[in-house]
Amino acid sequence: MATQLVDHSALKVNQTGIIATVLVAFIGSAFYRPLLVLIPLLAIVLLVGTFAPQLALFKQLYFKVLKPRGIVKPRPVQDRPEPHNFAQGLGGVFLAVSSVLLITVPVLGLALALLVAVLAFVNLAFGYCVGCQIYFQLSKAGVIRAS
Amino acid sequence: MSTQLWALAVVGTVVLAAACLEVFRSRRARARTLGAVAEAAGEPYVLYFTGDGCTVCRTHQEPALEKLGPVRIDKVDAVAERELADRFNVYTLPTTVVMSPQGRALHVNYGYATAPKLQRQLDEARGALQVATA
């Protein structure tokens, strides 16, 4: 199996960033509606980070600030980055759809964004990555070629 | 504020529906898999379905399997060996199957299974073997 060392602390910081941003947008928009702009911004951050990891905002925050200063300790695990990237991209797509829905059906838009945060929380707290399970199903079906 | 409350209600409903669906799915897969046949061995053993994209397998399942002591564990790449994975209805990783010495599935665990749970299942399988040979 072609694995490499993946720093799981970077993934955890990424998940924390997603949860925090969605929660600020969700709760904050009740009092100050323009905060909803955080949802499309987060979608952009996740999608850009999927295709260009050096531009992944939360991961770079970890690698450039939190890790060097010893605020978050590294946790390297033999793993494959592809399923995690896939999960992040899936989150980005859902948030992009959520951003469109926020204009037309705000309740569904907010619900979809909150669902992304819930799934990020499940991954952060219990280590269960729904996006990775979808990646596995697609690999098994031959839709994604596992290298 | 009512928009937020409605959104919470929608998410709650979706999460609840997904949880129910997962319970139904695992029960159905388990019912279909029990009795499925693989290679026979002299004693109970564990079929361990994993994949190179499965993080929980490495961080949780493999340490749990190491705690079991001397037991045969057949590690199977669920993507590379699709036929075997389909036979045991592997829809999530990790999946562990406790096999009888005759190569029949006795217990199926979809998702992470703790060491005590696997140990109990293996003990049951060994107990059944002793009853059969007595």
Does B14 reach chain A within 8 Å, measured CB to CB?
yes
Instruction: Please report whether residue A42 resides in a domain.
Output: yes
Domains held by chain B: number:
1
Residue B99, strand partner residues? B45, B105
Summarised one tens digit per residue, pLDDT across range A82-96 is: 899 999 999 999 999
CATH of the domain at B67: 3.40.30.10
- Residue B1 is predicted with a pLDDT of 64
- Strand B105-110 relative to strand B95-99, pairing: antiparallel
> Is residue A21, in this structure, part of any structural domain at all?
yes
Interface of A with B (CB under 8 A): 1-3, 8, 26-27, 29-30, 77-80, 82-84, 106-108, 110-111, 114-115, 118, 127-129, 132-133, 135-137, 139-140, 146
Listed in sequence order, the residues at least 6 apart from B68 whose beta carbon sits closer than 8 Å to its beta carbon are B46, B115, B118, B119, B122
Statement: residue B133 has pLDDT above 80:
no
First to last CA, chain B: 69
At residue B116 the predicted structure's pLDDT band, cuts being 50, 70 and 90, is very high
Q: Which residues of chain A have pLDDT under 50?
A: none
**B83-115 tens-digit pLDDT:** 999 999 999 999 999 999 888 999 999 999 999
What are the backbone angles phi and psi of residue B106, rounded to the nearest 5°? -100, -40
Host domain of residue B19:
2-133
* Local structure of A84: helix, strand or coil: helix
Cα gap A116→A143, rounded to integer Å: 23
Quick check: is A147 in a domain? no
Query: b/e for B49-67, b at 16 or more Cβ within 10 A?
Result: bbbbbbbbbbbbbbebbee
Chain B interface, best mutation among A24, A35, A79, by max B CB count within 10 A: A79
d(CA A31, nearest CA chain B) in Å? 8
Q: Quick one: closest CA in A to B14, which residue? A: A115
Identify whether the C-beta of residue A61 lies closer than 8 Å to the C-beta of residue A13: yes
* Residue A143, pLDDT score: 86
The boundaries of the domain holding residue A19 are: 4-67+80-140
Tell me the nearest-neighbour CA distance from A106 into chain B, angstroms: 7
CB-closest option in A80, A84, A114 to B52: A80
pLDDT the model gives residue A146: 59
Task: Check residues B13 and B3 and name the one with the higher pLDDT.
Answer: B13
Q: Would residue A74 count as lying in a domain? A: no
B19 interaction partners in chain A (CB closer than 8 Å): none
The domain total for chain A is 1
Task: Convert the pLDDT of each residue in B23-64 to its tens digit.
Answer: 999 999 999 998 888 888 888 999 999 987 788 898 899 999
Predicted pLDDT at A122:
93
In a domain, A35, yes or no: yes
Q: What's the gap between Cα A100 and its chain centre? A: 18
What is residue A80's predicted lDDT score, i.e. its pLDDT?
Answer: 86
Q: How high is the pLDDT of residue B36?
A: 86
The pTM (predicted TM-score) of the whole model is 0.84
Collapsing DSSP states into helix, strand and coil, what is residue B45? strand
Q: What SS3 class is residue B107?
A: strand
* Domain-embedded: residue A72: no
Q: Find out whether A89 and A129 touch, Cβ atoms under 8 Å.
A: no
Alpha carbons A126 and B10: distance in angstroms, whole number: 23
Q: A55 lies in a domain? A: yes
What pLDDT is recorded for position B132?
Answer: 62
Residue A146, in any domain of the structure: no
Nearest CA in chain B to A11: B55
